[in-house]
Amino acid sequence: MKKIGLVLFVIVLISTVFVSGFQSRGDVEPNTVYEVYLDDEVIGKVKSKEALEDYIDERGEDYKRKFNVDKVYAPNGLEIKKVVTYNEETDSISDIYEKISEKKPFTIKGYRFSIQDGDDKIQIYIDKESVAKEALENTVKTFVGTEEYNAYMNDTQTPVTTTGSYIDDIYINNNMTMSESYIPVTEKIYTDSTELSQFLLFGEYNNKKDYVVQAGDTISQVAFNNQISVNEFLISNPEFTSEMSLLFPGQTVVIGMTDPQIQVVAVVNQTSDVVNSFSTEERYDSTKLVGEDEIIQQGEDGLDRVQQELTYLNGDVISSEIQSREELKPAIEQIVVKGDKVIPSVGYGAWYWPTPSHYVISPMGYRIDPISGTRSLHTGADISESCGQPIWAANNGVVTEADYRPDLGNGNYVTINHNNGYYTLYAHMASYVVEVGQVVEKGQLIGYVGRTGRATGCHLHFEAWVGGPPRRGTAYNALLLY
């Protein structure tokens, strides 16, 4: 009986507590509050979502002035969720603001501008779309030329009747996207198209320095000595219109190493008159000693009108294709009678141009490699010529190399020791017709023009060296004979 009484007492007690608790809760109205989450972590509760957002905006006056915007927003990852609760306790808006500011930066509305460069993606933040559009246009104009770009866009290019050029196509060879985004105020946000243009041209580090012109300096010499191309010099110093512009001692110029963030491609149809240097026929007389030369017919240069399609990447020619060639004036061959008591293996006299074409599309000097995109020394001259055209020895000598070397980028190539301190190298051949140890004569066929190895089009890469055989990647003893 005592156990039964104890059980009934407990039941009555629980019932009383439940009823009294229910009646007490029924007298209180639930509250609506807002829980604040930052990256899924609860940092507090506020009474009003709007009040917190307005407070963030009011405290962001400095950011508004800096970025010229009307509103500042919460950080990315901040969520404010409505909650109904009987708990009346909330945090002050100022306390919540301080907690947020310690963890993540606030944001403004802008645009995420992405540029795909191979496997790399460049992320750029801008305050409005027009900044990217103007910067891209300015960058294209820098590489193509303002007048040329405007004439192309307005379809007002002058037709070519004799010589001249016109642009067939201009495009940016990158995938680009633009999307509206909330940008953290700690990011670099471009608000000026000129500043963004400088980034697109010179990259993050904007590697520039001043140089004081010395007596006798030329633009090509200054560019070479500072390991930049002539085109880079002209980009950094727009007051100079061409490589032939004059410098004066004491003048300060800018040396800027470009690091283009986009690939501006221009396809240009160009017609030009090219001097066709006369060749020299050497007739040997066995009654004369070697070195006893007699000119029996004076040579005279000819003139060819050459039409070709040139492809430029960021201002540098990366490929050429000859469309037509018209002989305006034939070259008159020079005839020299030479002593022929021995077959000479030593180069002497005038040097022989190695191809039918005399059009140099890329001279020796520093440039941004069109294949790797890195700065390197171009140790020779690229001569524009159609695939299959003949390549001739520049002078008498002995073949020291005739090989295919993909690791050097030469493709099929030949090296000749002229036994007078000079060496010449002929690269990217379709094929060669000489062998190591063979004695060759000036003007003798040694191979055919091709595009083997690291080549973007048909041409001959020609190098001349003095004092030793060719050395890759260095200016030591490299020179041009013509």
CA 143 from centroid of its chain's CA atoms = 11
Domain ranges of the chain: 30-104, 112-161+171-256, 264-479
State the pairing for strand pair 411-417/422-432: antiparallel
Q: Kindly tell me the sign of the dihedral angle through the C-alpha atoms of 98, 102, 104, 105.
A: positive
Q: What are phi and psi of 407, to 5 degrees?
A: -70, -25
Amino acid identity at 124: I
The pLDDT of residue 470:
84
Q: Which SS3 state, helix, strand or coil, does residue 311 take?
A: strand
- C-alpha span between 292 and 277 (Å, rounded): 24
* Residue 206 confidence (pLDDT) above 90: no
Query: Do residues 277 and 329 lie in contact, with contact meaning Cβ atoms separated by under 8 Å?
Result: no
- C-alpha span between 275 and 257 (Å, rounded): 33
- C-alpha span between 383 and 482 (Å, rounded): 12
Across the chain, which distance is largest between two alpha carbons, in Å? 152
- Mention every residue, 6+ apart, whose C-beta is less than 8 A from residue 454: 371, 409, 411
- C-alpha span between 396 and 401 (Å, rounded): 15
Q: Which CATH class is domain 264-479?
A: mainly beta
Query: Do residues 383 and 359 lie in contact, with contact meaning Cβ atoms separated by under 8 Å?
Result: yes
Nearest to 376 by CA among 384, 385, 367, 386: 367
pLDDT tens track for 354-410: 999 999 999 888 888 888 888 888 889 999 999 999 999 999 999 999 999 888 889
The pLDDT of residue 341:
64
Within the chain, how many helices (H) and strands (E) appear?
9, 28
| 34, two tokens | 């807002």
The pLDDT of residue 23:
42
Amino acid identity at 13: L
pLDDT tens track for 119-152: 889 999 999 999 999 999 999 999 999 999 999 9
Burial class (CB in 10 A: 0-12, 13-18, 19+), 381: buried
Q: Which SS3 state, helix, strand or coil, does residue 75 take?
A: coil
DSSP states of 94-119 as a string?
HHHHHHHHHHS--EEEEEEEEEEETT
Amino acid identity at 200: L
For residue 137, the 8-state DSSP code is H
Stated as kind and residue range, the H or E segment containing 180 is strand 175-184
- C-alpha span between 123 and 105 (Å, rounded): 18
pLDDT tens track for 20-70: 444 444 566 888 999 999 999 999 999 999 999 999 999 999 999 999 999
- Residue 479's pLDDT band (boundaries 50, 70, 90)? low
Query: Do residues 256 and 158 lie in contact, with contact meaning Cβ atoms separated by under 8 Å?
Result: no
